[in-house]
Amino acid sequence: MGQGTWYMGENQAQRQQEVRALQVGLEQGLKVIDTAEMYADGGAEEVVGAALKGRRDTAWLVSKVYPWNAGEAEAGKACERSLRRLQTDYLDLYLLHWRGNLPLDETVRAMEKLQQQGKIRHWGVSNLDSDEMQRLWQLPGGEGCATNQVLYHLASRGIEYDLLPWCQQHHLPLMAYCPLAQAGRLRHTLMSDATLRDIAQQRGISVAQLLLAWVIRHPGVLAIPKASTVAHVEENARALTIAFSAEELARIEQAFPAPSGKQPLDVV
């Protein structure tokens, strides 16, 4: 499990609280911090930079580039801006935020150039479905993609039909954003579901912890929930210790069944 930063950096009054939450997350073992140039127009990256001051080597830092900045002409400048806001000289992982109009092979070349310059160590993509991943894999250098970051939670299981198996087959880690349906219309449905509430109550955990534990039980899946308070990040971290019984998983499966066919990739 890592830490997301969507909606951070939008309120100056909450800045120190957000900085401390990220630092406590690192102390709790949530080493991956995910951000993007889009979040608060770079404000989230600035929060992350403040949180990592003096402790950059304790984090695995991920940022994302707008699709129109992911070409050979703009990627270097966009990456430099992110590095300045993050107060670091390299990213561990740089992601294409979503599929834009630029050819994927141009983005691959731009990412490889950033690697050669030492500005990024790895590159990947976000919000690409299985057909787009297959096309990427066929491009020169496409197999250098290190991850795909997509929306995934218990009420949005479409990736289990084809994308997740494809990623697992190709040993490609998958990053799950909004694992608690934070930005989706289904959050209330999940949090108030009778089956989930009953299982959580029996286990002495929160429904949120149950949902996080369910996402990360899948091999090769990393959840990146956003937590802007120390209490919230500590609650999230405790989900790492939760293991489900076969009976619990069967009850969850009955309440929120896996897809029986191809579904459009959910995006928020």
Among the listed residues 7, 39, 66, 94, the single catalytic one is 39
Contact 75/36 with Cβ under 8 angstroms?
no
CA 201/CA 232 separation, integer angstroms: 18
Contacts 24+ apart (CB under 8 A), 76-84: 76/110, 76/113, 76/114, 76/117, 76/119, 78/37, 79/114, 79/119, 79/120, 80/119, 81/37, 81/42, 82/37, 82/42, 82/45, 83/119
How far separated are the first and last CA of the chain, in Å rounded?
20
- 39 catalytic? Reply is yes
Report the catalytic residues. 39
